[in-house]
Chain A
């Protein structure tokens, strides 16, 4: 028997993340600038780190309740009300997870299985498709367009929904495009969704990183709240990626089942991270604002830079990504990224790594210093000048 022969075909059929492709190349390079990293460059604010350290010093090293410390869930409930005007009961509607990633996984496992279709607006974060396939369900791409600023259009959505559609994953502010959806955008798709038996998994990890106005959650629409799983977390907003802590909010009937998966597969989220997260919600707000202000400046520098180079880029109002159109260079996304890395030592991620419709675009993150952004832009300008027909 070969071990490989025993591996399930739907696991084998799931491709690894295309983002990893250039990993080995960049690790051997000196002076390379990575615009490929999807995480804050800020360290976790000291007030938050310190609380994690204290908890260890005090010997608080035991399991928490499966759903997470009730103090943390209460803080989360307060935060969701304060920030997004959403009411969730800490006892029955909130689950503390191992990052937003776990929440995505268990939400999909709860609602998707063989024979089901999950609608995934693309370009999208790579895990949605993978997790859908692990459930044996079929991911159905909804191709977002640059001319719509990568926002979901109601007509497009209508066309994607069939009887077997069980869920749609909505993720704004968006990775990889930096797009946001505003209230009016949601109102239009809510009209489409409300007549259908379809669950919404709303990944709002980047909610704090909105540079245009207040973040809108689709769960704010009363007719949507009970059928939406809201996923949020600490990684992006509080620069806590390595702590692995996030949360999900949902109707108690959904939560009861999701909690079961979490209970058996995870037990509970890391408690050091939970203590730190409580402090983050209690006193992290000024630090969040400081980071958001800084991202906003860098965002303008990068957006302005790409447009000056002639790589047209719609203004991204969320997350920390620009998604410029590189078709004018005559290169494919893969060629562009590979040559840019080899010739100018700047790492960007090909748009097609986030779905076929991302072809012709690249993702560049501005979660790096202004100095790095400027240097990277001048290298990209030199590169584009050279390759453009």
Chain B
């Protein structure tokens, strides 16, 4: 049941325990127990909302930043990653394979604000060798959700 609950919550975190129970053909108490267990174990780390900020008329600028760093003896990349992800402007930070080491997602109100953050904060961290900043111009799909899809039902109302 754990897997099934996660599948549903992943696309709709607002669903009630009662609704979940009906969908999965089980009782509310079992659903509550499984969710509580997953929260305690840290399998579920939070519930958030996917927002198309453009439509909300709030300017949010997102940049994907590739960062090359020098790993530290005994600490690998963890130490420098920690220095980076502590900033509230950093929304995501991952160690990646390939030509770069860390992949960092930064959000700000304007391009200038993000650029300054990179120049003044990220680039100046001691083990950071270089950064490459890519601003997001348009979001097509995020977390499995296609943004600009008209929600219209294209089917004929009645066929046979």
Asked whether A19 lies within 8 Å of B23 as measured between CB atoms, the reply is no
- 13 inter-chain pairs at a CB distance below 8 angstroms, sorted by A residue, are A19-B159, A22-B158, A26-B157, A27-B157, A36-B158, A37-B158, A37-B159, A41-B155, A297-B8, A298-B23, A300-B24, A304-B22, A374-B19
Q: Is B25 an interface residue (CB 8 A)?
A: yes
Known contacts A34-B153, A41-B155; is A19 also within 8 Å of B160 by CB? yes
Q: Is A182 an interface residue (CB 8 A)?
A: no
Q: For residues 124 through 157 of chain B, which have their beta carbon under 8 Å from a beta carbon of chain A?
A: 153, 155-157
User: Which residue on B lies nearest to A101, using beta carbons?
Assistant: B160
Describe B's contact surface by its main secondary structure.
Answer: loop
Asked whether B158 lies within 8 Å of A26 as measured between CB atoms, the reply is yes
- Please report the C-alpha to C-alpha distance between residue A293 and residue B22 in the assembled complex, in whole angstroms: 14
- Please report the C-alpha to C-alpha distance between residue A22 and residue B156 in the assembled complex, in whole angstroms: 12
Which 4 A-B residue pairings sit nearest by Cβ, starting from the closest?
A: A297-B23, A23-B158, A26-B157, A304-B22
- CB neighbours (8 Å) of B25 from chain A are 300
Chain B, interface residues (CB within 8 Å), range: 10 to 19
Q: For residues 343 through 389 of chain A, which have their beta carbon under 8 Å from a beta carbon of chain B?
A: 347, 368, 370, 374
- CB neighbours (8 Å) of A297 from chain B are 8, 23-24
- Please report the C-alpha to C-alpha distance between residue A38 and residue B155 in the assembled complex, in whole angstroms: 10
- Please report the C-alpha to C-alpha distance between residue A368 and residue B152 in the assembled complex, in whole angstroms: 12
Q: For residues 177 through 232 of chain A, which have their beta carbon under 8 Å from a beta carbon of chain B?
A: none
B22 partner, pick from A37, A39, A125, A300, beta carbons under 8 A: A300
- CB neighbours (8 Å) of B23 from chain A are 297-298, 300-301, 370
- CB neighbours (8 Å) of B22 from chain A are 300-301, 304
In addition to A41-B155, A300-B23, 6 A-B residue pairs with Cβ atoms within 8 Å of each other are A37-B158, A37-B159, A39-B159, A127-B160, A297-B8, A370-B23
- CB neighbours (8 Å) of A22 from chain B are 158
Least distance between A316 CB and chain B CB atoms (Å): 13
User: Which residue on B lies nearest to A21, using beta carbons?
Assistant: B158
Describe A's contact surface by its main secondary structure.
Answer: helix
Contact surface of A with B, Cβ cutoff 8 Å? 17, 19-20, 22-23, 26-27, 32, 34, 36-39, 41, 125-127, 293, 297-298, 300-301, 304, 347, 368, 370, 374
Known contacts A297-B24, A301-B23; is A38 also within 8 Å of B159 by CB? yes
A34 partner, pick from B7, B8, B157, beta carbons under 8 A: B157
Asked whether A17 lies within 8 Å of B153 as measured between CB atoms, the reply is no
Least distance between A254 CB and chain B CB atoms (Å): 26
User: Which residue on B lies nearest to A27, using beta carbons?
Assistant: B157
B158 partner, pick from A20, A127, A300, beta carbons under 8 A: A20
A-contact 0/1 string along B17-36, CB 8 Å cutoff: 00100111100000000000
User: Which residue on B lies nearest to A372, using beta carbons?
Assistant: B153
- Please report the C-alpha to C-alpha distance between residue A41 and residue B156 in the assembled complex, in whole angstroms: 11
- Please report the C-alpha to C-alpha distance between residue A347 and residue B155 in the assembled complex, in whole angstroms: 14
- Please report the C-alpha to C-alpha distance between residue A37 and residue B160 in the assembled complex, in whole angstroms: 8
Q: For residues 42 through 93 of chain B, which have their beta carbon under 8 Å from a beta carbon of chain A?
A: none
- CB neighbours (8 Å) of B7 from chain A are 293
- CB neighbours (8 Å) of A347 from chain B are 157-158
- CB neighbours (8 Å) of B19 from chain A are 301, 374
User: Which residue on A lies nearest to B26, using beta carbons?
Assistant: A300
Known contacts A297-B23, A297-B24, A300-B25; is A17 also within 8 Å of B157 by CB? no
Asked whether B24 lies within 8 Å of A17 as measured between CB atoms, the reply is no
- Please report the C-alpha to C-alpha distance between residue A299 and residue B23 in the assembled complex, in whole angstroms: 8
- Please report the C-alpha to C-alpha distance between residue A266 and residue B7 in the assembled complex, in whole angstroms: 44
Asked whether B160 lies within 8 Å of A17 as measured between CB atoms, the reply is yes
- Please report the C-alpha to C-alpha distance between residue A41 and residue B153 in the assembled complex, in whole angstroms: 8
Asked whether A19 lies within 8 Å of B153 as measured between CB atoms, the reply is no
Least distance between A338 CB and chain B CB atoms (Å): 14
Q: For residues 102 through 116 of chain B, which have their beta carbon under 8 Å from a beta carbon of chain A?
A: none
- Please report the C-alpha to C-alpha distance between residue A34 and residue B23 in the assembled complex, in whole angstroms: 21
- Please report the C-alpha to C-alpha distance between residue A297 and residue B9 in the assembled complex, in whole angstroms: 13
- Please report the C-alpha to C-alpha distance between residue A34 and residue B153 in the assembled complex, in whole angstroms: 10
- CB neighbours (8 Å) of A39 from chain B are 155, 159
- Please report the C-alpha to C-alpha distance between residue A20 and residue B157 in the assembled complex, in whole angstroms: 9
Least distance between A32 CB and chain B CB atoms (Å): 8
- Please report the C-alpha to C-alpha distance between residue A100 and residue B136 in the assembled complex, in whole angstroms: 47
Asked whether B158 lies within 8 Å of A19 as measured between CB atoms, the reply is yes
Least distance between B33 CB and chain A CB atoms (Å): 19
User: Which residue on B lies nearest to A43, using beta carbons?
Assistant: B154
- Please report the C-alpha to C-alpha distance between residue A378 and residue B34 in the assembled complex, in whole angstroms: 28
Least distance between B143 CB and chain A CB atoms (Å): 17
Asked whether B156 lies within 8 Å of A37 as measured between CB atoms, the reply is yes
Central interface residue in B22, B23, B24, B157, by most chain A CB within 10 Å: B157
- CB neighbours (8 Å) of A304 from chain B are 22
Central interface residue in A37, A298, A347, by most chain B CB within 10 Å: A37
Central interface residue in B155, B158, B159, B160, by most chain A CB within 10 Å: B158
